[in-house]
Amino acid sequence: MSRPLLLHPDRLFPADPGVRSIARALYDEIADLPIISPHGHTDPAWFAHNQPFGNATDLLLRPDHYLFRMLYSQGVQLDDLGIGAARATSDPRAAWRILADHWPLFRGTPTRLWLDWVFAEVFGMTEMLDSRSSDRYYDTITEALQDPAFAPRALFDRFNIEVIATTESPLDSLEHHAAIRADNNAGVWSGKVITAYRPDPVIDPEFEGFADNLHRLSALTGQDCHTWAGYLTAHRQRRAFFAAHGATSTDHGHPTAQTADLSRADAEALFATVISGSFTAAQAELFRAQMLTEMAAMSLDDGLVMQIHPGSLRNHNRGLFARFGRDKGADIPTRTDYVHALRPLLDRFGNESALSIILFTLDESAYARELAPLAGHYPCLRLGPAWWFHDSPEGMRRFREMTTETAGFTNTVGFNDDTRAFLSIPARHDVARRVDCAFLARLVAEHRLADWEAAELAHDLAYHLAKSAYRL
């Protein structure tokens, strides 16, 4: 027999009994609040077509780079998991068995927290995943997915999701969002699924296919995207198109936080160099930097909230990238400068309270030294939650401990799950709510907050701040 799967009701709460009781009381007030998921990477086609998810592997393993990056680190080949081209010929049950055989690798990780919640709360599993229970898990989950109660829209409603934002390229037709909105208008389904504008493929000269992407952008917009004026107009046009499909934000995944504020003549000359294809790495970086400032100017005009997600060296494993493409678990955090990098943008727009820029980081050393002081001063800046590698209990605690004294709570934006793994969304929000309640409970126990203040903040961190920051 496998060991029992148990979700302790006091998980992630403080060990001290007195502080734990405060955390428990705070959590009980917010546990059932609706989920605001303002930034993520779920597939809008799931909600547009509402087709059943295929099987346990396709739903839970293959889309989740948190899982297969750990497996790969221990010698499991992505082909054996059916990643990439191998999916067409691989056995999903065999891939699931590999996950089950290696489940001990995930002890102490947030992945384990999230998936144990999914197994227990969504599928009613009562035994731990391991080699002995692998087939029972696979069969139970796969069979459940054929039930209409486990269709994407039914799960969306069951998870009490008020709104979810997906992330699309400017080249996307947004046809799935249009289909969802049509069903909303017809009264078929009330779920709110919006998009976010992610222009990296047509802003980053080093993005694969950049030259072809500019041709596609020209065709989509009717603008000549090989002129500086036409290129900027095309962005404005696509941003308006996204806003018409519900977008309230943009998202920028640059290698650094570098910004620039070039003269029009210098920007035109740089753009000409970039589109020629004969540019240096420094020129590519300068162009990305200039485009962050251009995007901020457009946000001031159209009201879209700007998210900057810097600091990841994408596709570090070149061999893996060549075989399998992006988002295969080989993105690695790097040191990130914000104070100097953001100054050109902030010199121009930092005092604009109508502009909202949300900063994320993978460099925790910047929390107290740079990010909290910046957000604690500039009206346009807010801090995004602990992200990606730090979307974990310890990462969330460190974020609160290192930013709160300087930036406070209201210069942060609550929590967003930033995930492709749909079923982990309520699990991730539950972890964040528990960790924040534990942090607030300590402040109450230390007589730094009144209990009613902590209760108000718990509601803000779980719900109100995200809704406000993303203009939802």
Share of the chain above pLDDT 90, in %: 93
Contacts of range 14-23, beta carbons closer than 8 Å, 24 or more positions apart: 14/438, 14/441, 14/442, 16/445, 18/445, 19/438, 19/441, 19/442, 19/445, 20/441, 22/440, 22/441, 22/444, 22/445, 22/451, 22/454, 23/434, 23/437, 23/438, 23/440, 23/441
Assigned domain for 11 exists: no
419: nearest Cα among 185, 111, 190 = 111
Q: Do both 126 and 179 map to the same domain?
A: no
In this prediction, residue 332 has a pLDDT band, given cuts at 50, 70 and 90, of very high
CATH code where residue 123 lies: 1.10.2020.10
Residues 204 and 235: their CA atoms lie apart, in Å, by: 14
Residue pair 105/74 in contact by the 8 Å Cβ criterion: yes
Element spanning 261, H or E: none
pLDDT at position 200 is 97
Q: What CATH number is attached to the domain comprising 450?
A: 3.20.20.140
Q: What is the pLDDT of residue 65?
A: 87
- pLDDT of amino acid 405: 97
In a domain, 62, yes or no: yes
- Residue 92's Cβ-count burial label (10 Å; 0-12, 13-18, 19+) is buried
Q: Mark which of 147, 164, 193 sits at the end of a domain.
A: 147
Query: Do 132 and 156 fall within a single domain?
Result: no
Are 42 and 116 in the same domain? no
DSSP letters spanning 335-396: ----TTTTHHHHHHHTT-TT--EEE--S-TTHIIIIIHHHHTT-TTEEEPPS-GGG-SHHHH
DSSP, collapsed to helix, strand or coil, labels residue 164 as strand
252 beta partners:
308
Task: Give the end-to-end CA distance of the chain in Å, rounded to a whole number.
Answer: 48
Mean pLDDT computed over 345-372: 98
pLDDT category at 88 given cuts 50, 70, 90 is confident
Question: Domain tally for the chain?
Answer: 2
For residue 350 the two structure tokens come to 């930092």
Task: Give the pLDDT confidence of 154-203 residue by residue, as tens digits.
Answer: 999 999 999 999 999 999 999 999 999 999 999 999 999 999 999 999 99
Q: Residue 255 pLDDT more than 90?
A: yes
Same domain, 134 and 278: no
User: C-alpha dihedral over 43, 49, 50, 53, to 10 degrees?
Assistant: -60
Select from 115, 147, 179 the last residue of a domain.
147
- In this structure, are 34 and 103 located in the same domain? no
Q: Does 309 have pLDDT greater than 90?
A: yes
Q: Are residues 313 and 341 in the same domain?
A: yes
Residues 34 and 181 in one domain: yes
Asked whether the predicted pLDDT for residue 1 surpasses 80, the reply is: no
In this structure, are residues 163 and 194 in contact, taking their beta carbons and an 8 Å threshold? Answer: yes
Q: Could you tell me the residue range of the domain that residue 139 belongs to? A: 54-147
Cα separation, 38 vs 429, in Å, equals 12
Residues 423 and 362 both lie in one domain: yes
